[in-house]
Amino acid sequence: MQPLARPLTFFKAYDIRGRLDEDLTDPNAERVGRAFAEGLGARRVVLARDVRPSSRGLSQAVARGLMAAGAEVLDLGLAGTEEMYFAVSHLGADGGICVTASHNPIEYNGMKMVGAGSAPLGAESGLAEIKALAERGDFADARGGGRVVDSSGTRSDYVECVAGFASAASLKPLKILVNAGNGAAGPTFDALAGRLRANGVPWDFVRLHHAPDGTFPNGIPNPMLEENQPATAAMVRQAGADMGVAWDGDFDRCFFFDHEGTFIPGEYVVSLLAEAFLEKEPGATIVQEPRVIWCTRDVVERAGGRVVLSKCGHTNIKRVLRAEGAVYGGEMSAHHYFRDFFHCDSGMIPWLLVGELMGRRGATLKDLVAGRRAAFPSSGEINFRVPDAEAAMARVEKDYGSRALERDDVDGLSLSFGDWRFNLRMSNTEPLLRLNVEAKDSPERVRTAVAALRALIEK
């Protein structure tokens, strides 16, 4: 192949994400497939795709590239990113690719990639080499011998693995509202629900926006956005459900609602999952990112566990999880990572564990988080679009740095003042500053700190 005239701009820090028909085209997707196989020396590669209309053509192009390099393509068909993660390790493949744009607008698509052992690929761990080779196009002569193998049957093994994270004996009757957002989650959830039923789990499910539909008639599935939450909340109340669960497009993130339809912010979910694991494995290590830390740290330290901070982003969390032997890692953005799921993130495992914890406690989800929300109120992530992010960061550091009692620079600037703290970090991809503020026992302290920081950032 000839070298490309311009760089492939769809390669990002952790994955591939770009606008369709600009440089994310079928021919370029074929280049990526070939570069993936040659760059990693991959002979067997798992391939999956989400429900978007463009994903089928892009995945076929990736498969052509993989086969041209002589690789065997283990095709899962329509599947979630975590099913690809599972299959790579379960089948002993050399890597995996899921064609997905997750929660991005319909004019976008992308790819998530891992190497052997479901190890993450990032800008410093293989992705840059794949990008450079795809751009140069100086591939080896076509090897031939590549083929596509239908590997969709792997889902039954995946379901068996995921179902095993919760003990059926601990599960009490629940009614759970699930919102697949017309993404890829529906068929996988149905397979998991069937396994749970066969295991004697006494849970009933109410399904919302369940059928996969790449036109997304009910909107792009991104439950993180406040405007996308009312539909799930209303159906939780209408169905009389004990809990609501909603997924993004490739279901590697899940979001929770209590029985009143109240959305549960991600940092409190991280603390619940940390508690669930520490009950099963006392003294275990938990990984979290530094945006909002106090609630989870309190839970872990009370249980005799250990907290390790990691920079945000799935490649960073996974790397720390492996290095520290941690049982679980969580991000407030609803990514949850599990040692016993090949150190990867899953959107199906978390709600099983939360449901199990509700059964063991004999408590509602609202009751489980109420004390945490009161003790450790937080602002949620606030984004600032500023002309000069570095200058705004410098103003904040100059004004607050000398007064802080504690500081860490794991990811951005984190300063603690005894009864409140904040984290301020620059976006990797946009001229944005992202602010999170938390306090001890005082929502008013959060509000006043946000107002003061806002004035300084927007100065």
Cβ neighbours around 125 below 10 Å, total:
14
Cβ-in-10-Å burial (0-12, 13-18, 19+) of 24 comes to buried
Cβ atoms of residues 211 and 185 within 8 Å: no
Give the bridge partners for 20, in sequence order.
Answer: 24
Catalytic hit among 102, 118, 151, 346: 102
Closest CA to 294 of 403, 225, 377: 377
Cβ atoms of residues 421 and 322 within 8 Å: no
Report the phi/psi class of residue 208: left, alpha or beta, with left for phi > 0 and alpha for psi in -120 to 50: beta
DSSP states of 29-43 as a string? Answer: HHHHHHHHHHHHT-S
Cβ atoms of residues 285 and 295 within 8 Å: no
Find all residues with CB under 8 Å of 112, minimum gap 6, and list them.
15, 16, 81, 84, 97, 98, 100, 250
- Give the separation between CA 140 and CA 43, rounded to whole angstroms: 14
Cβ atoms of residues 346 and 247 within 8 Å: no
Closest CA to 17 of 99, 90, 77, 127: 99
Mode of pairing for the β-strands spanning 344-345 and 16-19: unpaired
Told to judge if 54 belongs to the known catalytic residues of this protein, a careful annotator would answer: no
Enumerate long-range contacts of 8-12, CB under 8 Å, 24 or more apart.
8/32, 8/131, 8/134, 8/135, 10/110, 11/127, 11/128, 11/130, 11/131, 12/428, 12/429
Cβ atoms of residues 325 and 339 within 8 Å: yes
Catalytic residues: 102
